[in-house]
Structure 1
Amino acid sequence: MAKTPSSGTRRGKGRLVAEKRRAPLAEPRGRKTRAKTAAAKPARPRRGLLGWVLWPFRVLLRLIWALAWRGAVIVALIVAGAVAYNYARIPDMASLADGRARGSVTMADRSGEVFAWRGDNFGGLVTTEGVSEHLKNAVVASEDKRFYRHLGISPRGIAGAMRTNIQAGRGPFSGSGGSTITQQVAKLLCLGTDWDPSLGMTEAEFEADCRRGTVWRKVKEIPYALALELKFTKDEILAIYLNRAYLGAGARGFAAAAQRYFGTSVARLNPQQSAMLSGLLPAPSYFAPTANLERAQERGALVLGLMHEQGYLSSAEYQQALANPATLSPAARQDTGGYFADWVMQTGPDFLTQDTTEDVLMRTTLDKDIQRAAEEALEYVFETKVREGSEAQAAIVVMSADGAVRAMVGGRNTRGAGQFNRATQAIRQTGSAFKPFVYAAALDLGWTYDSTVYDGPLSIQVPGSGTYSPENYSREFYGEVTLTEALARSLNTAAVRLSENVGRDIVRKVAADFGLDREMADGPALALGVSEATLLEMTGAYAGILNGGTSVTPYGLKSLTLRGDTTPLLDHDSGLGERVIQTDAARQLVYMMSRVVEEGTGTRAKLDGRPAAGKTGTTQAARDAWFVGFTGDYVAGVWMGYDDNTPLTGVTGGGLPAEIWHETMERVHAGTPVTPLPMIDPARTARPAPQAQSPRPAPQPQPEREPDLAERILRDVLGTVFGRN
């Protein structure tokens, strides 16, 4: 039995010994570390329901922020690189000011007054110091009122434009773009890309593409606009804008527009003129004052209101400008001669007209008073004598006897440019208007105005076509008639018989030498005008008759000079060519044609107190009706018909065309002295007896010469044989 500690053999208390304990098992190191860490940190509050809901958003925001600032840095570096790239490739201001791919053509009439412009008119490089202060204020007020305060782009303007587009039901980048003037300059410069014909689009299409409001193009505008701001001062950017902006009617830049519309310098523009020009910027062709002056004035009034609101105009100045809106200069108001201008552009060398890269000044033969007379005459006849709604067309050409064209109307719509010109482009059968050239050939061969020709039934065998039997318009025949009577009555069988007698080849040559040199008919119908010509060609051919038988080439360009030069590159004083028929033949023909107007088919063309001569012409089925004639001063031709060859109803050359001719020439000659026609006077003209056959010139008696010895012997022998002395 074990002894208790108190028992034993020794005296006193027993020795105390601690109870032996087993050491606890050692914990894993990791768990001990986590426990200590947990004890060291304060206890994390438990996530509630809201915390669990918001936790993904907090993570997303941290991710977005991390991506955003990094992306912003990358974008900033890209923009900085793009700005630096554009900055390096932007040329100097002088190179940017005139961005035209072609030059301009300015046309002046015979008195030196400007009447038309073609190409891109450019008034020369201007700076902000050289333009009216009102113009600068108008442009800034209407286009970018914070221009002098932003760095090339306006976030506020872009945001406002996007809001406006969305409210209008468009896409945010469609319609208004909120562009600053600097961004508009970037568009005008096409972000530094120049037009090249090899691109496969016209210059106008290229410019339209540059102004497209796509998102990508607007993005590219930003670094380019910033580069412009770094490259130039604000005034220089504004100057580029003033020089390059298109303002309608071919005017490129405000200097050209000031001259085009107001006939004044860009430095002298008043507030209302400045406001009107600035108002053209959003839509130049639509708001152009030459297209609609009232609309342009209304637009100008809106810009004046902006100038007043922004402190550029006082109340008194604003009211005065409103009360006196800008109006067009006399040259701009004229707006005539568009067909003539287009024709002159086509007759000059392309590298100085259609494709010119220079600024060209043309002096022309146009007479603005005659041009206006022709336009008014055409309008009057169609308003008073043509049924309403008729789509028939007409054309007029007036020229001097040397071929200088004084007026040209190519159709009923006399305003604008680039229209189909029926005076020069419509190639039509001439009808009986061709007959004077048959008679010209006969007269030049010795026939006279009172020689006779038979007007009766006629049948001609045409190889491959059968029998050709012409008839007169009246379906009657008049027997033996003089050439004068045959022409006055426009007798067909007489003309064909005369042509056959003279010879078709001779008739063709005479007509061709007078300027009707298109391919002509081979058969006997040649005499009746089945061949084709333009009105300009026919009028030029008649001018050859008036001037005494000398051919002419119609012309409209007198001289051509480069802007800034004094010596013309081209000079043209006359269209006279070679003589075609003798002067006496031409004088007889003029007399015969005067009978057409006095008592023949052209009596409706007769002028009050002024002699005139001419010839009517009507083609098969009345598809074309002509009257071409002249006074002692001018030749005029009139054509009437439908563009699609539809027959005219109740119209012949002696009808409406003769009346249009009459109205034109009455206006042309108003207040001018009477010039006699260069024709014979039958009462004073000694002439041989009328002849019915082709009168070739009789052989002139030759002076007798002394017979030689052999001839005398032969005569003696023959005289003895035949019993003659």
Structure 2
Amino acid sequence: MAKNSKTGKPLVADRRYGAAAATPSKATTAPRPRKARTPRRSRPRGPIGLLLLPFTWALGLILRVTWKLGLAVVVLIAGAAFWYSMQMPAITALVDGRTRGSVTLLDRDGAVFAWRGDQFGGMITADQVSPYLHDAVVATEDRRFYRHIGVDPRGVAGAIRINMSEGRSPLSGNGGSTITQQTAKLLCLGVPFDPATWDSERAYEEDCRRTTIWRKVKEAIYSMGMEIAYGKEDILTVYLNRAYLGAGSRGFEAAAQRYFGKSANEVNVAEAAMLAGLLKAPSSYAPTSSMERAVDRANVVVGLMEAQGYITAAQAADARANPAQLSTAAEARAGGYFADWVMDQGPDFFTQNTTEDVMIRTTLDQRIQTAAETALLSVFDARLKESSEAEAAVIVMSADGAVRGMVGGRDVRATGAFNRATQAKRQPGSAFKPFIYAAALDLGFSPNDMIVDAPLTIDVPGSGPWRPENYDRQFRGPVTLTQALAESRNIPAILLSEEVGRELVRTVAQKFGITSDLAAGPALALGVSETTLIEMTGAYAGILNGGSAVVPYGLIDLRLQGDDAPLMDNAGVGLQERVIQTGAARQLTYMMSEVIRAGTGTRAQIPGWELAGKSGTTNSARDAWFVGFNADYVVGVWMGYDDNSPMQGVTGGGLPAEIWQATMAGVVAGETPRPLPYDLPTMGTRGEMVADSTMTADTQILDVLDNILNGLAN
């Protein structure tokens, strides 16, 4: 091997891998290189990169700011939700949030027939209601109720999409609100009613229902606070008790009682579906408003329940085939006019402005009420054109003044409407005449006393000569008082009124209950003074009961719901002081029975029944009346136009008598006829009743002539 000439060492090639190479000495070891750093993303190069540089920088900035801002918003929302949750009261405090009370009206048998104010049937919890109702509400209003935290983003997005596709603004129409959000809205987001802030409760409720972006945000946060504070079933309980469901029903317990006459824990599938369907639009879908719409909506709810697995296909088919039916009371919707009238009879702080739940027991007889409604409608349907705007009113009353039925107009289902039975002041015409005869009989006149029906002229100071006529413009000559009343002769009524004295006639009428101003002139006898149907019917009740005045009444007693002791008791309020002697009343009853037997009221006859009454028709037939009674009930009927225009071919003995007859026939249906309380008259002279069967016909004629001559002389 060759050697190096300078060193003398042989020339050899260094070994590539050797022990010395693997473990160099410390003195000769090279410094360890640093770990390579991952290179940053290379910035865009060239013109395009320079153009995109500002945008990419801005996007990065936005992303960095947004997630921090989002985190801050989430923290704020969570904090606000927790704050709201800390303010939540006990569930029981939220169940009934009405600021005013309600009135429930019971008929004479204790059955409910009408409601006023927002009804609250009492607290019922989500686990107490019928499971069908529980599921119907969830299926209809919030199918993801048990899977959200108070707000359902999917529901909101779907509602916005629907609204915009139908041309509405995002917040108009469908709201996508959860049951929790709807409950929050019912609670007005925890803001109580303050009279200093809102002019009325209506304004308060409208403000609570207002929809704005900010209010929706508050509603969402408040809803999440409710979810923190309460369980799902608690929230559903509040909703079930506070939702408005039409016809004055606040909560499902009140609605179930109102429409079906049962508790919310007893309703079946069809009834539950109809109740849940009301949540969409209570007034439109209320079965008392339109049963057809209510059934259609209920079928939609049944479909939702079936689709979500709450009921089987067989149950759904059965619910569709057998839709819910209203209770008898709800179906009848009887006594709306009567209920309004009774509400005016109690103190305002327990009726119109009550803050308590009040129960009022009344005199109403629902069977009689139905008879009156049916009679009026049947006669109008059969005898009047559909275009006719004629109106009518009917009252049925006991002899002591207790009102058993009342119809204030052709719309027998109306509430809060003008009541022609109690509010319309109209001229009674010849229906006023019994008070003239009552005054005369009380002075000792006899039903068989004679009076002249002949042309008459009376000089009225300030007006000149007055020449009244009979309705048929004919004169009968000498007639008995009974015949004069039965045929409704005007001249004898005027003569008798003048003879006994107008002031006495006015006094008798007023004491019987005609409180309206009565005419001062001789036309008083023709019923030209305005009065109301309830006054006239009450006055006739005084004749039936033997001569004592009555105060028409409908309220028996008033008590707070749940209390046994009444706060107001009207027992015995009807009968008042005596006006005429019993004998005079019984004679007058006989005379009025002749009106129906053979006079102007023959259309009022009911085979087998003794009846008494009087017709009345004013000038140009602007008013037509028939008022009369059997042994137990007085029925009053008025007919006319609201604008006081004349009717064509209508008299008191015509259509009003037919309505009266149909009403009375319904009242006495199935009952045993009872005789009227009257006395048959005997022949005699005024001031002296004579009973002498040995009198000859000639003697009787002479007595009649003496009576006539005496009358003329007086």
What secondary structure is seen at the aligned counterpart in 1 of 2:145?
Answer: coil
1:177/1:213 contact within 8 Å kept: no
Instruction: Verify the 8 A CA contact 2:151 2:220 in the aligned structure 1.
Output: yes
Please state if 1:363 is matched with 2:361: yes
Cα–Cα, structure 1 residues 479 and 229, in superposed 2: closer, same or farther, change >3 Å? same
8 A Cα contact 1:175 1:213, kept in partner: no
Q: 1:112–1:75: structure 2 CA closer, same or farther, 3 Å change rule?
A: same
- The 1-side partners of 2:399 and 2:160 are apart by 65
Q: Which stretch shows the higher mean deviation, 404-413 or 106-115? A: 106-115
User: Please, which of 339, 342, 349 is the counterpart of residue 337 of structure 2?
Assistant: 339
Shift of 1:152: 0.8
Q: Which whole-Å CA distance do the structure 2 matches of 1:43 and 1:285 have between them?
A: 67
Tell me the CA shift for residue 587 of structure 1. Answer: 1.0
How far 1:73 sits from its partner (Å)?
Answer: 5.4
| Matched residue, 2:169 | 171
In structure 2, the CA distance between the partners of 1:538 and 1:69, relative to structure 1 (3 Å rule), is same
2:680 aligned residue: 681
Judge conservation of contact 1:441–1:510 (CA < 8 Å) in 2. yes
- Alpha-carbon deviation of 1:209? 3.7
Partner Cα separation in structure 1 for residue 270 and residue 634 of structure 2: 45
1:660 is aligned to: 659
Q: Which residue of 1 aligns with 2:26?
A: none
2:267 alignment partner in structure 1 = 269
Deviates more, 1:112-121 or 1:428-437: 112-121
Kept in 2, the 8 Å contact 1:451–1:692? The answer is no
Deviation by residue 1:267-306 (Cα, 9 ceiling, x = unmatched): 2222222222111111111111222223222222221221
Partner of 1:628: 627
Deviates more, 1:147-156 or 1:477-486: 477-486
Distance 1:239 1:694 in 2: 85
* Residue number in structure 2 paired with 1:38: none
Asked whether the 8 Å contact 2:133–2:269 carries over to 1, the reply is: yes
- Matching of residue 383 in structure 1 with residue 381 in structure 2: yes
2:419 equivalent in structure 1: 421
Q: Specify whether residues 88 and 505 from structure 1 end up closer, same or farther in structure 2 by C-alpha distance, changes over 3 A only.
A: farther
Q: Could you report, residue by residue, the CA deviation over 1:4-29 in whole angstroms, capped at 9, with x for unpaired residues?
A: xxxxxxxxxxxxxxxxxxxxxxxxxx
Give the structure 1 partner of residue 93 of structure 2. 95
Q: For residues 356 and 213 of structure 2, what CA distance do their matches in structure 1 show? A: 37
Partner residue in 1 for 2:30: none
Alignment of 1:540-619 (within 5 A): 540-574=538-572, 575-619=574-618
> Which residue identity is paired with 2:529?
S
Seen in structure 2, the aligned counterparts of structure 1 residues 166 and 495 have a Cα distance that, compared at 3 Å, is same
Root mean square deviation, CA, Å: 2.4
Following the alignment from structure 1 to structure 2, what is the Cα–Cα distance between the partners of residues 624 and 554?
22
Shift, 1:212, TM fit: 3.0
Cα 1:46–1:257 shift into 2, 3 Å? closer
Contact kept, 8 Å, 2:615 with 2:657, in 1: the verdict is yes
Deviations 1:473-507 (Å, cap 9, x if unpaired)?
Answer: 12223333222122122222222222222222211
Q: 1:137 aligns with which of 118, 135, 151?
A: 135
Q: For 1:87 and 1:416, locate their aligned partners in 2 and report how far apart those are by CA, in whole Å.
A: 45
The amino acid of 2:615's aligned partner reads: T
Q: CA deviation at 1:75?
A: 4.1
Q: Which amino acid aligns with 2:651?
A: T
CA contact (8 A) 1:453 1:693 kept: no
The Cα offsets for residues 175-233 of structure 1, whole Å up to 9 and x where unpaired, read as 01000011101111112233455656553454344223333322221222122122211
Is the 1:558–1:571 Cα contact (8 Å) retained in structure 2? yes
Deviations 1:573-628 (A, max 9, x none): 33111100111111111111111112222121122121111111112221111010
Secondary structure of the residue aligned to 1:638 is strand
How far residue 684 of structure 1 moved from its aligned partner, in angstroms, is: 9.2
Distance 1:200 1:337 in 2: 34
Which residue is equivalent to 1:441? Answer: 439
Among 302, 319, 322, which residue is 2:320 paired with? 322
Q: Write the deviation string for residues 363-384 of structure 1: whole angstroms up to 9, x where unpaired.
A: 2211111111111111111111
- TM superposition shift of 1:408: 0.8
- Deviation, 1:514, is 0.6
1:504-536 CA deviation, whole Å, 9 max, x = no partner? 221111111111011222222111111111111
Q: Deviations over 1:237-271 (max 9, x none)?
A: 11000111111122111111122222222222222
1:193 to 173, 178, 191: 191
Q: Quickly say closer, same or farther: Cα 1:577–1:308, change in 2 above 3 A.
A: same
Q: Which amino acid aligns with 1:620?
A: N
Question: Contact 1:435/1:529 (CA < 8 Å) preserved in 2?
Answer: yes
Kindly provide the CA deviation profile for residues 4-57 of structure 1, in whole angstroms up to 9, marking residues without a partner as x: xxxxxxxxxxxxxxxxxxxxxxxxxxxxxxxxxxxxx99997854433543443
The answer to whether the 8 A contact 1:618-1:626 is kept is: yes
Amino acid at match of 2:656: P
How much has 1:315 moved relative to structure 2? 3.1
Query: Would the aligned equivalents of 2:107 and 2:361 in 1 still touch at CA under 8 Å?
Result: yes
Once the two structures are superposed, residues 429-485 of structure 1 have per-residue CA deviations (whole angstroms, 9 ceiling, x without a partner) of 111111111111122122221223333333333333333332221222333322212
Secondary structure at the residue paired with 1:322?
helix
1:553-589 CA distance string (max 9 Å, x none): 1111222222212222222333111100111111111
Give secondary structure in 2 for the equivalent of 1:635: strand
Structure 1 residues 83-92 or 222-231, which shifts more? 83-92
On the 8 A contact 1:447/1:694 being kept in 2, the answer is no
Question: Which letter does structure 2 place at the counterpart of 1:499?
Answer: S
Distance 2:116 2:324 in 1: 24
Please tell me the residue identity of whatever aligns with 1:120.
D
Compute the displacement of 1:150 (Å): 1.0
* 2:373–2:412 CA contact under 8 A, matched in 1: yes
Number of positions where the alignment pairs a residue of Structure 1 with one of Structure 2: 655
Give 2:229's aligned residue: 231
Q: Which amino acid aligns with 2:689?
A: R
Within a 5 Å distance, the mapping from 1:201-220 to structure 2 comes to 202-220=200-218
Q: Which residue of 1 aligns with 2:255?
A: 257
Q: Where do 1:52-91 residues align within 5 Å?
A: 52-62=50-60, 64-65=62-63, 68-69=66-67, 71-72=69-70, 75-76=73-74, 79-80=77-78, 82-83=80-81, 86-91=84-89
Match of 2:243 in 1: 245
TM norm structure 2: 0.87
Q: Relative to 1, partners in 2 of residues 1:465 and 1:70: Cα closer, same or farther, differing over 3 Å?
A: farther
Sequence identity percentage = 59
Which residue of structure 2 lines up, in the alignment, with residue 639 of structure 1? 638
**Secondary structure of 1:117 counterpart:** strand
More deviation, 278-287/41-50: 41-50
Find the aligned partners of 1:559 and 1:233 in 2 and give their Cα distance.
43
For residue 256 of structure 1, give the secondary structure of its aligned residue in structure 2: helix
What is the TM-score normalised by the length of structure 1?
0.86
1:62 Cα deviation (Å)? Answer: 4.5
Q: 1:553 to 1:694 in 2, by over 3 A?
A: farther
Name the CA shift for 1:414/1:200 in 2 (closer, same or farther; >3 Å).
Answer: farther
CA contact (8 A) 1:153 1:225 kept: yes
Cα distance in structure 1, aligned partners of 2:75 and 2:542: 77
1:464 to 2:468 alignment:
no
CA contact under 8 A between 2:43 and 2:49: conserved in structure 1?
A: no
Counterpart amino acid of residue 258 in structure 1: A
What SS is found at the alignment partner of 1:347?
coil
TM-aligned CA deviation for residue 101 of structure 1: 2.1
DSSP 3-state at the match of 1:536:
helix
Q: Contact 2:683/2:689 (CA < 8 Å) preserved in 1?
A: no
Q: Kindly indicate whether the alpha-carbon contact (under 8 Å) linking 1:452 and 1:693 is maintained by their aligned counterparts in 2.
A: no
Q: How does 1:143-154 map to 2 (within 5 A)?
A: 143-154=141-152
Whole-angstrom CA distance in 1 between matches of 2:663 and 2:40: 110
Gaps of 5+ in 2: 1-38, 691-702
159-168 vs 244-253, which moves further: 244-253
| Alpha-carbon shift at residue 401 of structure 1 (Å) | 0.7
Residues 342-353 of structure 1 aligned to structure 2 (within 5 Å): 342-353=340-351
**3-state SS of paired residue (2:146):** coil
Q: What is aligned with 1:20?
A: none
